[in-house]
Amino acid sequence: MAIAEASASGHGEFEQSRFRAIRGPAGLVMGYVATILVLVTLNFFLPRALPGEPLEALSNPRSPTFIGDQERRLAVEQYYGLDRPAGEQFLAYLAGLMRGDLGKSIRYNVPVSTLIAERLPWTLLLGGTALTAGTMGGVVAGIRSGWRRGRDGDRLLLPLFVALDSVPMFVVASVIISLFAVQLGWFPLSGARTPFSDAWPPWRQALDIGHHLLLPAGLLAVQFSAFQFLVMRASMIGELGSDYIRLGRAKGMTDRILKYRYAARNALLPTVSVVGLQAGLAVSATIFVEAVFAYPGLGRLMVEAIASRDYPAIQGVFLIVTVMVLTANLAADLAYRRLDVRTRR
Amino acid sequence: MSAPILEVNDLHVRFANGVDALRGVSFALDRGEALAVIGESGAGKSTLAHSVLGLIQPPEASGSVVVAGSAMLGATDQRLRAVRWSVVSLVPQASAFNPVVPIGDQIAEPLIEHAGMSAAAARSRTNELAEEVLMDPSLLGRYPEQLSGGERRVALLAMALALDPALVVLDEPTSGVDPIGRVALLERIATLSRSRGFALLIVSHDLPAAAQLGARCMVLYAGEAMESGDRHAVIHQPAHPYSRALISAYPVMTTTRDLRPIRGSPPDPRAIPPGCPFHPRCTQAEDICRNQRPVLEPSRDRLVACHFGGVRVLLAASEISKSFRTAGRTVRALDAVSLTVEHGEAVAIVGRSGSGKSTLARVISGHLHPDAGRLVLGDPVLGRTSASPGELRRQVQLVMQDPWDALSPRLTVAELAREPLDIAASKNAEQRRQAVAEMLNAVGLPTSGGFLSAHSHELSGGQLQRIVLARALLAEPTMLVADEPTSMLDPSEQARLLVVLRELQVEKGLALVLISHDISLVRKVSDRIVVLESGQLVEEGRAEQVSGSPRSEAARLLVDAAPMLEHPGGDPRPPSAPGGRWTR
Amino acid sequence: MTASASWFLKIGGAITGVFLLLVVAGPALAPYDPQAVVGASLVAPSGAHLLGTNDAGQDILSQLLVGTRASMLTGILAATLAVAAGVLVGATAGLLGGWADLVAMRIVDVFLAIPALPLVILIASLASPSRATIVAVIALAGWPPISRIVRSQTLVLASRGYVHAARGFDSGWPYVVRRHLVPGLAPLIVATYVNWASAAIVLEAGLAFIGLGDPTAVSWGSVLQRALGHAGIYATAAWTWWVLPAGLAIAGAAIGLAFLGVAIEPRSNPRWARS
C-alpha cells in the first residue's frame, strides 16, 4: 500500500504546489489554507450528509446510539444545533472553531479540546521517536540495499521490508506483546507509565516512560522504516546508472564516496518529498499501535470514541490530526524547495 | 624512446544485449602525441573512450588496454584508482556533474581525495585551474544546473586537468558547444596540451575539430578501424571508401559541392555483416569483400583496412591523343591528356567550346578510338591490358547533349527505355517491363500507359533526357559520362536532371564524368574539376579550389564568365581562400 | 523478468492462489457453522476443533475459513471500485486536459492531502455499519492516489508519437483509447490493483479491529477484534489459537498480494527495474 501511495505522489517527481496557479512558497501556503478550509467544511457536512442520520439518532430513543443522560444529550444537541437553519449551524460551527470549542465528549463529559490537550503529548512522544528512529533506519538500510541491488543483503532485506510494509501492524503488535510482555515479561503490557508513578523522582519517571515507550515505538519505527526503506532504495536505484556516477568512478573515487556523496545525496531529495506522505501513514499506524498497547494518545482516544459513537470526540480528533498532517506536508514541501538546488534560483 | 602512454591491443567489447561495440581495435599513443578517432554514432567511439579509463571490464571487454604500463582490463579497483585521473582523465560527452555539489568542489575533489591536499590548498589550486582554462572563476561556486552547456564543458576540462595527467581523453569535446565557443575551446585544448605536454585521445564525429587537435587520425566504422594515418593524408586524401564517403558527407565551408549522403545505412551493431563491415554500402565491393574481413595494413603511406588498399581507380586514361582531319587541316583535339577516375567519384571536365571535352568523352566511353594512349578499366595495379572499345562502351555509358538526337522519334517511350534490355536479351518480357518501370520511377517519370506509349515529339527536353539517363542506367554501367546533359534544357529542368543524376550516382555507386562549360553548375556535383584548353589538360584539382581560386588562365576565364545573379551590395562570391579551416 | 522478480511472482502467486481457493471453498470446508455455539468456551485445539473455540464457544477454524470470503471479497471489491473510479477520473482528466483536468486534480489533491485513515474512520463511524459502507469507504481512500498515477501515465502515453499519428489519420478517441491507451495502461493498472487489494484487505481488518466492521458478517478482522477485546487475552494461552491464526491469515493474504505487486511492478514502472 505504501508503494502505491508513494507512486501516487510521484516519488522521484515532485508536486511543487497544490495551488499550481501560483508558484513558489506563496502558492504552497495558499494551497494549504485552501485545503484546511475544505477540511473544515467537510468536517461540518459529513455527519449531516451521510445516510443513516447519525446525529439525529443521538436524540432518538429507539436508536442504539441514543444518549440516555439528559444533560449530555442536551449538550450535544446544543453543539450540533440541528434545529437551526443550515447556514446558522455552519457559522456557529466556525465561530466555535475559532474559540477552540470542539464540543463536549459524550463519553467523558468534558470538552473535547481538553481531552485532546491531555492526549496529544503522548502521541507526539510516541510518533516522534518512532518517526525519527524509523526514518533513519530505513534511509540507511535503503541506501545500502539500493547500492547493492539484487546482491548480498538486498536479497534478504527487500522481501523482508515488503512484508513488513504490507502486514498490518496490529497483528504483529499482538504477537510481540504476547511474546515480550506476557511470556517474557520484559516490557509492560500497556499504558504510557506505571500508575501513580508521578510521585517518583524525575529520572525514575523518565526511565519508566521510556520503558513503556520502547515496545510501541519500536514497532512503529519498524513500520516507518519499511516504507522509508522502499522509497530510498528505489530512489538509489534510480541514480545508479547516471552519468555523474560513472564519471565519479573514472575520477577514481572509492565506492564509499560514490555511494554517499554521489548517489545518496541525490537520492535523498525524493525522500524528503514523501516525508509529508509519511506523516499521513504515521497517523494511521499510530492509531493502531496505540489501540493495541492502550497507549493514552490521540489514537486511543479515537478508538474509544468510536466504540461509544462519541461523535464530537471523533470529529475533534479527526480535525486536529488532519491539521497536523497537513502542516507536516507543508513543512516538507517548503523544505524541499530549499533543498533542491535545481529549483533554487 | 620512452614507452607509449597508451597501448590498445585487439580490444573487443560486446555488451550484454548482444551489441558488438568494438571488434578488434589496436593502436598506440606516445607521450605528448594526439590521436583523433573519427566515426559516426554507433561506431564505438564512446565505448573506446570509456575502455581507456577501464570503465568497461571483462567479460564485456577483452583484449588489452595498457596505460603507462598499467593494464586496465581486469585490474583491481585499487589499481584502477591509482591510475585514474592522476595518469589518465576523461572529459565526457554528457555533462556528468553531481547535481547537488558546487562545481568548484567537484573540481577540487580529486585534489583532496587523491593528492591529499587540504581544502584550502585545493581551493586555490582550483582557482588556478579555472584561470588556465580561461573559465570565469565566479562560476566555481555555482551548481551545475546554473551553468550553460559551454561553461560546463570548460569546467569538465578544468576538472580533467586537476591532477596533471599524462593522457586526457576527450569524448565529443565540441558537442553542444556553439560554433564560436567551439573555436575558442579547441584552441585552449591545443595550447594546454602543448604547454603541459599531455597526450590527447579525441573521440568525435566532428571532423574539423578532430582534425584540428589530432596529429594522427583513425577512422572507426562498426567497431573497427578502417583507416589510420597522418591527419593530412586521411582527411584530404582519404584512401578508404568509407573515409572518403564520410568526408564527402561533411558540410564545411570549404566544399561547394552539395551534401552527398552515404548510401545505405550503418549496420545493426547486433548483426554486423561478415567480411568487410562496409561492403554493403561500398561502391567497389566484390566477392572477397563479402567473405573476408580486411586487415589494417600499410597502403599509400598510412594504414588502411581494405582488400584493395583503398579506393580503386576505375578508369585510367593515359596520354590520350586524337586528331581530326577536315578539309585538309589537321585539328589536334586531344594532346596527351591523362585522366583517372576512381570508383564512386564525380569528375567534371570543363573548358571552352572546342577545348576537346566532347572528344575526350567519346574516347573514354569507347565511342571513339584514340590515336595514342592507353585506356585501362579497373585497377592498373592489377595489370590489366587496355580495355577493348566494346568493353568500354558497356561499362561506361554515355549521355549526350541532344536528347532528340539520342532517341529515335519512331519508338515509344517504353520501347526506347527497353532498348538496352532488348539488345542484351538477358531477361524475359515481364522482367524487362518491371525493370523499365522501376527505372522510370527512379528518374521521376510516370509509368502510366499513356506515358509509356508516347513518342518523343510529345515530351519536353527534360523528360527526354531523363529517359536517356534511364536507358543508360538499365545497361548497368560502372561509370556514366554525361556530355553537356543540361545545356539544351530549361533551368528548372536542368535542376531536376542534376538532382536525379546525383541521387542515382550515390544510389547505384557509379562514377560520374560530367562535361560542361558551365563551371558554376559542375562544382555543385563534382569532387574534382579538370580543365581542358585547346586539347590540353591545363588544370586539375578539387572542385572548390579550381572554382574558388583558379590558377590557369583558362579556368580563370571560365570562372569570371560564369553567370551570376546581381546582388545589391557587390560580389556575393566568397573570397577565394586557399585550403580551408582543416589545414591549419 | 529478473531472477528476484520471478521469485516474488512465484511465492506471491502461490499464496494468493491458496487464499483465492479458500474464498470459493472456505464455507464448504468449514466443519461448523461459524456463528453456532458448538463447544465449551476457550477450548484448546483438539480433534474436534482444530483451532479451538472462542469465548462464546464458536469454532475458530470455521470462523476463519468462512471469514476468508468476507475479508478477501471486501478487499477485492473495494480495490475494484477504487481502481475503476481512479482509472475513469485519471484517464479522462489526462485525455481531456483543460478545465476538466484542472478541476478533477484539485479535488484529488484535496483528498490526497487529507490523511486517509482518519477520514475513513470518520465516515465509517458516522454511516450505518454494513459491508457496503466498508467497501465504499475503502474505495474512497484508494481512488485519489490511483487517479494520479493513471493520469500521469495517460499523459505520457497521449503524448507519444503514435497517438498523434493515429489522430493524424483521423481516428476518433475511442479508437485511440482501445488501441493504444488500454494496452499501455494495462500493466500499470494491474500492478496498482494488486497492491491496493492487499492494502484493502489490511484496511478492512483494521477497521473491524477498531470496531467499525460489519457486525453481522464473520471476517478475520472481526475474529481478531473479538479476541483482542477479550480481557486478559494475553494471560492465557488462548491467544496462540485465537489471535495468531487470524493475524496470520490477514498477514498472509496481504503479503501474498504485495509480493505479486512487486513482481508485476518492474514491468510497469521501469524505475524499479533499472540495472
Q: pLDDT of B208-240, one tens digit each? A: 888 888 789 999 998 899 999 998 888 888 889
DSSP letter at B460? -
Contacts of C137 in chain A (CB under 8 A): none
CB of B322 within 8 A of CB of B334?
yes
Q: What is the mean pLDDT of residues A11-31?
A: 55
Confidence of residue B258 (pLDDT cuts 50, 70, 90): low
What does the pLDDT look like over B54-91, one tens digit per residue? 999 989 999 999 999 889 999 898 999 999 999 999 99
What does the pLDDT look like over B405-436, one tens digit per residue? 888 888 888 888 888 888 777 778 888 888 88
Q: What's the confidence (pLDDT) of residue C269?
A: 44
Q: Which residue of A has its CA nearest to B115?
A: A252
DSSP letter at A182? I
Do β-strands B329-342 and B6-14 pair in parallel, antiparallel, or remain unpaired? Answer: unpaired
- Residue A101 within any structural domain of the chain: no
On the CB side of C189, CA atoms within 13 Å amount to 21
> Distance between CA B409 and CA B113 in Å, rounded?
86
Q: Is B225 on the interface with A (CB under 8 A)?
A: no
- Residue A143 within any structural domain of the chain: yes
pLDDT of B572 higher than 60: no
The residues facing B61 across adjacent strands are B13
Contacts of C240 in chain A (CB under 8 A): 178
Contacts of A172 in chain C (CB under 8 A): 247, 251
- Contact between A167 and C255 using a beta-carbon 8 Å cutoff: yes
Residue entry with cell 591491443: B9
> Distance between CA A145 and CA A138 in Å, rounded?
10
> Distance between CA B13 and CA B52 in Å, rounded?
12
CB of B345 within 8 A of CB of B511?
yes
C-alpha cell, C66: 468462512
C-alpha cell, C6: 520471478
B residues 93-112 lying closer than 8 A (beta carbon) to A: 94-101, 109-110
Q: Is A241 on the interface with B (CB under 8 A)?
A: no
Q: Burial, B62: exposed, middle or buried (Cβ in 10 Å; 0-12, 13-18, 19+)?
A: middle
- Read off φ and ψ for residue B227, nearest 5 degrees: -155, 145
- Contact between B96 and A247 using a beta-carbon 8 Å cutoff: yes
> Distance between CA A110 and CA A121 in Å, rounded?
18
Residue B454: how many CB atoms within 10 A of its CB? 17
pLDDT of C165 higher than 80: no
C-alpha cell, B115: 593528492
pLDDT of A21 higher than 60: no
Domain count, chain A: 1
Q: What is the mean pLDDT of residues C243-263?
A: 86
Q: What's the confidence (pLDDT) of residue B254?
A: 58
pLDDT of B579 higher than 70: no
CA C137 remoteness from chain centre = 12
Contacts of B55 in chain A (CB under 8 A): 246, 249-250
Q: What's the confidence (pLDDT) of residue C113?
A: 78
DSSP for B239-252? -SHHHHHHHHTS--
What does the pLDDT look like over C6-42, one tens digit per residue? 888 889 899 999 999 888 888 888 888 878 887 777 7
Comparison of pLDDT for B533 and C157, the residue scoring more: B533
Q: What is the mean pLDDT of residues B293-319?
A: 86
Q: What is the mean pLDDT of residues A75-94?
A: 82
Give the A:C interface size as CB pairs under 8 Å. Answer: 197
Comparison of pLDDT for C238 and A313, the residue scoring more: A313
Q: pTM (2 decimals)?
A: 0.73
Q: What's the confidence (pLDDT) of residue B37?
A: 92
Which residues are within 8 A (CB) of C110 and not within 5 positions of it... i.e. 6 or more apart?
A34, A35, A38, A39
Comparison of pLDDT for A174 and B168, the residue scoring more: B168
Q: Which amino acid, one-letter code, is at A114?
A: T
Q: Burial, A122: exposed, middle or buried (Cβ in 10 Å; 0-12, 13-18, 19+)?
A: buried
Q: Is A326 on the interface with C (CB under 8 A)?
A: yes
Q: What's the confidence (pLDDT) of residue B85?
A: 92
- Residue A271 within any structural domain of the chain: yes
Q: Is A60 on the interface with C (CB under 8 A)?
A: no
Residue B34: how many CB atoms within 10 A of its CB? 25
Average pLDDT taken over every residue of chain B: 84
Q: What's the confidence (pLDDT) of residue A332?
A: 78
pLDDT of C50 higher than 50: yes
Contacts of B147 in chain A (CB under 8 A): none
Q: What is the mean pLDDT of residues B298-326?
A: 86
DSSP letter at A104? B
Bond into C115 cis (ω within 30): no
Residue entry with cell 519498524: A222
- Contact between A162 and C262 using a beta-carbon 8 Å cutoff: yes
Can you tell me whether residue B11 is helix, strand or coil? strand
Confidence of residue B374 (pLDDT cuts 50, 70, 90): confident
Q: What's the confidence (pLDDT) of residue A10?
A: 36
Torsion over CA: A286, A289, A292, A294 (sign): negative
| Structural Rg of chain C based on CA atoms | 22
> Distance between CA A78 and CA A312 in Å, rounded?
12
- Read off φ and ψ for residue B447, nearest 5 degrees: -120, 25
Q: Which residue of C has its CA nearest to A280?
A: C115
Q: What's the confidence (pLDDT) of residue B267?
A: 84
- Residue A2 within any structural domain of the chain: no
Q: What's the confidence (pLDDT) of residue B475?
A: 84
Give all chains having 3 or more CB-to-CB distances under 8 Å with chain A: B, C
The dihedral formed by the CA atoms of A300, A306, A311 and A314, expressed in degrees to the nearest 10 = 30
Q: What is the mean pLDDT of residues B100-126?
A: 90
Q: Is A322 on the interface with C (CB under 8 A)?
A: yes
> Distance between CA C99 and CA C79 in Å, rounded?
28
Average pLDDT taken over every residue of chain C: 80
Q: What's the confidence (pLDDT) of residue C2?
A: 59
Angle at CA B549, nearest 5°, toward B546 and B554? 60
* Full residue range of the structural domain in which residue A257 is found: 114-187+215-344
Contacts of A255 in chain B (CB under 8 A): 77
What does the pLDDT look like over B118-161, one tens digit per residue? 989 999 999 999 988 888 888 898 988 888 888 888 899 999 99
Q: What's the confidence (pLDDT) of residue B517?
A: 81
- Contact between C274 and A237 using a beta-carbon 8 Å cutoff: yes
ipTM: 0.77
Name which of C108, C120, C122, C234 to mutate to probe chain A: the one with the most chain A Cβ atoms within 10 A of its Cβ.
C122
* Least Cα separation, residue B92 to chain A (angstroms): 8
Residue B402: how many CB atoms within 10 A of its CB? 16
Which residues are within 8 A (CB) of C156 and not within 5 positions of it... i.e. 6 or more apart?
none
Do β-strands B34-38 and B20-29 pair in parallel, antiparallel, or remain unpaired? Answer: unpaired
Share of chain B above pLDDT 70, in %: 93
Q: What's the confidence (pLDDT) of residue B90?
A: 94
> Distance between CA C57 and CA B23 in Å, rounded?
78
What is the edge-to-edge ordering of all strands in the sheet holding B329-342? B329-342, B313-326, B372-377
Q: What is the mean pLDDT of residues A260-284?
A: 79
Q: What's the confidence (pLDDT) of residue B573?
A: 53
Q: What's the confidence (pLDDT) of residue B387?
A: 64
Share of chain B above pLDDT 90, in %: 23
Q: Is A189 on the interface with C (CB under 8 A)?
A: yes
Q: What's the confidence (pLDDT) of residue B251?
A: 67
Contacts of C269 in chain A (CB under 8 A): 7
CB of A165 within 8 A of CB of A226?
yes
- Residue A109 within any structural domain of the chain: no
Residue entry with cell 498523434: C164
pLDDT of C261 higher than 50: yes
Q: CA-CA distances (angstroms) from residue B320 to B317, B339, B385?
A: 7, 9, 15
Q: What's the confidence (pLDDT) of residue B409?
A: 81
Q: What's the confidence (pLDDT) of residue B564?
A: 67
Q: What's the confidence (pLDDT) of residue B50?
A: 92
Comparison of pLDDT for B261 and B401, the residue scoring more: B401
Average pLDDT taken over every residue of chain A: 80
pLDDT of B576 higher than 60: no
Q: Is A261 on the interface with B (CB under 8 A)?
A: yes
Q: What is the CATH classification number for the domain harbouring A298? A: 1.10.3720.10
